[in-house]
Amino acid sequence: MAAARVLLILAGRPVSPRFVQSVCRLLGAGPGLGPWPTHCGLKRGRLVLSDGPFPGASTRLPLQRPPFCPFVALDQQQLRALGAELPTNRGVDLGVAIMLQSSDQTVLLTRRTRTLSVSPNLWVPPGGHVELDEELLDGGLRELWEESGLQLPQGQFSWVPLGLWESAYPPRLSWGLPKYHHIILYLLVVSRESQQQLQARIQPNPSEVSAFMWLGPDVAAAVAATEDGTETPRHLPQELPPSILTAELEEDGGARPLAMPVSTLLRTTPTTDEGKERVSSGTKFALGLWLQHLRR
């Protein structure tokens, strides 16, 4: 098995969670939706988590999972029956996503291309895997550059960890058995540059990104309020605009402005794999944490 990227401290002992094990459950999460406060150690290329303080813990973050998490839905009897169909030589992988905030208090989201084999056509913040020899922030900033073409000048930004999301793909058992299992660490990176200054330097990678947009607090609040598993958003802000401006990539490498209905961003995760454009469940969680940070 490859080196563990996510390590848990359980009863004072380090444990590498297996692919089929729910990290939230191992850390003592109950049947509710969470989030659950989790002690974290941000190591080079690795994340250490515990439900209590431990030497090396540097912060305490909310840990959340979707209500339809397949690793919770599968009971132990089902796991034994499906053992041959689930990965046995892998643990839980680590991902980092960058919530890039401009000085105008807007955040960048990108839409994954339809041709990607994992999570196609989803709106997410830039992010991906971190190499074993990388600091978690450095890996996130590298992914930001690889996906959007943005390199942030040293001294022109600050950052803070926002929260953790337990992610599976496919996201629902009704789509099929999970093939990927990650803990996503969301990092808020606050730039001193304006949205206009940042957008002028964006050069998205067309193999990964098909569009991008900047969300302000009002629309972000509506998106964060949509609760996966229901069809009706809760606590919607008043007077939402009917559409939001996005930048759609063209075949020649350019980008054209496109007004996208806000209703597209309010869609929830369907029960079947329909490939509908929407905001990922984890991104909704991260947007909610971003809004909490703005109100502090």
User: What tens digit of pLDDT does each residue of 235-268 get?
Assistant: 555 678 899 999 999 887 788 999 999 999 999 9
pLDDT above 70 as % of the chain: 91
Distance of CA 236 to the CA centre of its chain: 22
Token pair for 35: 């989030």
User: β-strand 127-129 against 93-101: which pairing, if any?
Assistant: antiparallel
Q: What is the pLDDT of residues 76-117, one digit of tens each?
A: 556 656 655 777 788 999 999 999 999 999 999 999 999 998
- Of 232, 244, 241, 219, residue with least CA distance to 268: 232
User: Quick one: pLDDT at residue 215?
Assistant: 97
Q: What is the mean pLDDT of residues 48-73?
A: 93
CA distances from 200 to 7, 63, 125, 190, 249 (A): 40, 35, 18, 17, 14
> Which residues neighbour 32 within 8 Å (Cβ) at sequence distance 6 or greater?
none
| Placement of tokens 């919530």 in the chain | 99
Tell me the domain boundaries of the chain. 6-295
Cα four-point dihedral sign 206, 211, 215, 218:
negative
Longest C-alpha distance within the chain, in Å?
56
Confidence of residue 272 (pLDDT cuts 50, 70, 90): confident
Instruction: Give strand pairing partners of 7.
Output: 48
Q: Which fold has domain 6-295?
A: Nucleoside Triphosphate Pyrophosphohydrolase (3.90.79)
pLDDT digits (tens, 9 = 90+) for 120-141: 999 999 999 988 889 999 999 9
C-alpha span between 117 and 91 (Å, rounded): 20
33-37, 68-72, 108-112, 236-240: which range is least confident on average? 236-240
Q: CA 156 → CA 24, 144, 189, 291, distances in Å?
A: 35, 15, 10, 22
Torsion of CA 211, 126, 179, 282, to 10 degrees: -100
Structure-token match 């900047």, residue found: 214
- pLDDT tens readout for residues 201-241: 999 999 999 999 999 999 999 999 986 644 444 555 567 88
The number of beta carbons lying within 10 Å of the beta carbon of residue 259 is 11
Q: What is the pLDDT of residue 98?
A: 98
Task: Calculate the CA dihedral of residues 202, 208, 212, 216 and round it to 10 degrees.
Answer: -100
pLDDT band at 32 (very low <50, low <70, confident <90, very high): confident
Per-residue model confidence (pLDDT) at position 89: 80
pLDDT > 60? residue 180? yes
CB atoms closer than 10 angstroms to residue 12: 8
Average pLDDT taken over every residue of the chain: 89
* Residue with the larger pLDDT of the pair 28 and 126: 126
Q: What's at 17, amino acid-wise?
A: P
With the CA atoms of 227, 258, 148 and 99 taken in that order, what torsion angle do they form, in degrees rounded to the nearest 10? Answer: -30
- DSSP string over 33-101: ---EEEEEEEETTEEEEESS--TT--EEEEEE--TT-HHHHS-HHHHHHTGGGS-SS-B-EEEEEEEEE
Dist CA 197 CA 176 (whole Å):
43
